């Protein structure tokens, strides 16, 4: 695909990765993704903002074929899907300076083995004139690495946000055409990448408030020409209260735990609590992560295997712990054959979660009437906790 005009002298460049189905060897990409770079031609200087993932570098270099000079390569984020082609671009434009935060400079020297002399580090709030276009660099640490920044183009009121507000979607549409679809993809992206840094994301959202933003151009997914709704969505995801929702990741080998899960789900529904089940062996973990953005309560369902939780339940617990959702309550249910340390092991894996732990329900073999009664009590306790927080 050729470069595409966004506004006068501002272009989208980059690559659309229709086929990619996994990111960071972890995150499912049901809709592919894109690596967006941008070219800004000022009356005096030209800047390229970010590059593309190295497997797609030929696409970017082809788009740069007719470009006579690049004075600056703005690198917002050192991760290779945006920075990995800087070396190739420097070969073609050897005089270009790589504009980065001081931290990004060190990281790019480590990650790409670029020479220190190519860099031009900028402090928070520094301004760079391209002639008739002015760039302001806003440091946004931990969105989602420590070195990240965004760029505001004053004359056109465009925020080049890199991963901030990004979404993994492969599409030929330059601008958002279906906000519902992009909301879903951006929430998935937030859940998997940004949620662990919710508090700093909130601070960085605050930091953007003084800027008059007409357009947000991220480095994955489509450009927002009506950016208000995605900024509001981020505000809700980081600052909003959790919702009246129980997320129930579970695994069951022979159906005993599954029976307990179904019983609890039904009891919660009767109590007016929404519930989402994730059968871990067939779960898209991106969907689970998205539910964690909203969930007031997590209940992990697992049989005891080799004296602890099933490895898939341990994986889900590890993931939830790493993603640090706003969840307030946590419990465990499951079936065992003779004994083990399932509850203790899961509890020791979830120390990051600032949760109140509710009484677990573990039963030997198939659940008995008293076990079902204990699950009813768990549902009632969860409903009360949600009501006490005004979530219902």
**What does the binding site for ligand FMN look like in residue numbers (CB under 6 A)?**
252-257, 303-307, 335-340, 365
The CB-of-347 to ligand FMN minimum distance in angstroms stands at 17
Q: Where are the alpha helices (DSSP H) in the chain?
A: 57-63, 80-83, 86-92, 102-112, 179-189, 198-208, 228-239, 256-270, 285-294, 311-323, 342-348, 369-388
Least CB distance to ligand FMN at residue 268 (A): 19
Shortest distance in whole angstroms from residue 373 CB to ligand FMN: 19
User: Which of 179, 154, 146, 153 minimizes the C-alpha distance to 165?
Assistant: 179
Check if the beta carbon of residue 32 is closer than 8 Å to that of residue 17. Answer: yes
Nearer to ligand FMN, 131 or 255 (CB): 255
Q: How far is the CB of 253 from ligand FMN (least distance, A)?
A: 3
Residue 245 CA to residue 294 CA, distance in Å, equals: 7
Burial class (CB in 10 A: 0-12, 13-18, 19+), 200: middle
| Short-list 192, 269, 276, CA closest to 237 | 192
* Least spacing, CB of residue 259 vs ligand FMN, in Å: 8
Residue 116: is it exposed, middle or buried by C-beta count within 10 angstroms (0-12/13-18/19+)? Answer: exposed
Which residue lies nearer to ligand FMN by CB, 298 or 363?
Answer: 363
Compute the least distance from the CB of residue 265 to ligand FMN, in Å.
15
How near is the Cβ of 379 to ligand FMN at its closest, in Å?
Answer: 19
By beta-carbon proximity to ligand FMN, the closer residue of 7 and 254 is 254
Q: Taking the chain, what is the end-to-end CA distance rounded to the nearest angstrom?
A: 49
204, 316, 337, 362 from 166: Cα distances, Å: 15, 24, 46, 41
CB of 342: closest distance to ligand FMN in angstroms? Answer: 8
Choice between 39 and 317, CB closer to ligand FMN: 317
d(CA 33, CA 192): 14
Beta-ladder partners of 276 = 247
How far apart are alpha carbons 280 and 259 in whole angstroms? 15
Q: Which is nearer to ligand FMN, 128 or 317 (CB)?
A: 317
Rounded to 10 degrees, what is the CA torsion of 77, 80, 82, 86?
100
Comparing CB distances to ligand FMN, the nearer of 253 and 322 is: 253
Torsion of CA 176, 180, 186, 191, to 10 degrees: 180
For residue 366, the minimal CB distance to ligand FMN (Å) is 7
Q: Which is nearer to ligand FMN, 228 or 339 (CB)?
A: 339
Nearer to ligand FMN, 331 or 335 (CB): 335
Q: Is the peptide bond before 144 cis (omega within 30 degrees of 0)?
A: yes
The nearer residue to ligand FMN, 252 or 345, going by C-beta atoms, is 252
């Amino acid at each position: 695909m050729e470069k595409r005009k966004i506004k006068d002298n501002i272009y989208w460049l980059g690559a659309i990765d229709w086929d990619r189905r996994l990111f960071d060897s972890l995150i499912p990409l049901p809709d592919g993704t894109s690596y967006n770079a941008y070219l800004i031609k000022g009356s005096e200087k030209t800047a390229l903002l970010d590059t593309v993932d190295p497997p797609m570098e030929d696409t970017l270099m082809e788009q740069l074929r007719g470009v006579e000079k690049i004075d600056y390569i703005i690198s917002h984020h050192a991760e290779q899907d945006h920075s990995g082609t800087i070396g190739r671009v420097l070969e073609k434009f050897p005089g270009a300076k790589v504009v980065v935060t001081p931290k990004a400079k060190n990281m790019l020297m480590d990650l790409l083995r670029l020479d220190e002399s190519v860099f031009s580090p900028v402090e928070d709030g520094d301004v760079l004139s391209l002639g008739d276009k002015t760039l302001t660099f806003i440091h946004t640490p931990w969105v989602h690495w420590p070195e990240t920044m965004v760029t505001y183009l004053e004359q056109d009121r465009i925020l080049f946000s890199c991963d901030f507000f990004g979404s993994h979607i492969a599409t030929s549409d330059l601008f958002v055409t279906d906000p519902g679809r992009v909301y879903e993809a951006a929430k998935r992206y937030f859940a998997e990448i940004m949620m662990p840094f919710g508090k700093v994301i909130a601070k960085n959202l605050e930091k953007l408030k003084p800027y008059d933003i007409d357009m947000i151009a991220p480095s994955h997914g489509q450009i927002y020409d009506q950016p208000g709704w995605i900024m509001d969505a981020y505000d809700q995801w980081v600052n909003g209260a959790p919702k009246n929702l129980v997320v129930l990741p579970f695994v069951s080998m022979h159906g005993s735990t599954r029976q307990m899960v179904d019983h609890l789900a039904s009891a919660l529904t009767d109590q007016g609590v929404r519930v989402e089940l994730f059968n871990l062996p067939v779960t898209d973990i991106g969907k689970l992560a998205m539910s964690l953005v909203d969930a007031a309560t997590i209940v992990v369902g697992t049989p005891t295997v080799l004296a602890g939780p099933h490895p898939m339940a341990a994986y889900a617990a590890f993931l939830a712990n790493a993603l640090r959702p706003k969840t307030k309550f946590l419990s465990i249910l499951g079936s065992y054959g003779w004994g083990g340390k399932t509850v203790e092991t899961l509890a020791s894996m979830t120390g990051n979660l600032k949760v109140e732990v509710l009484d677990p329900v573990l039963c030997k073999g198939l659940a008995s009437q008293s076990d079902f009664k204990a699950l009813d009590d768990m549902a009632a306790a969860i409903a009360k906790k949600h009501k006490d927080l005004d979530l219902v």
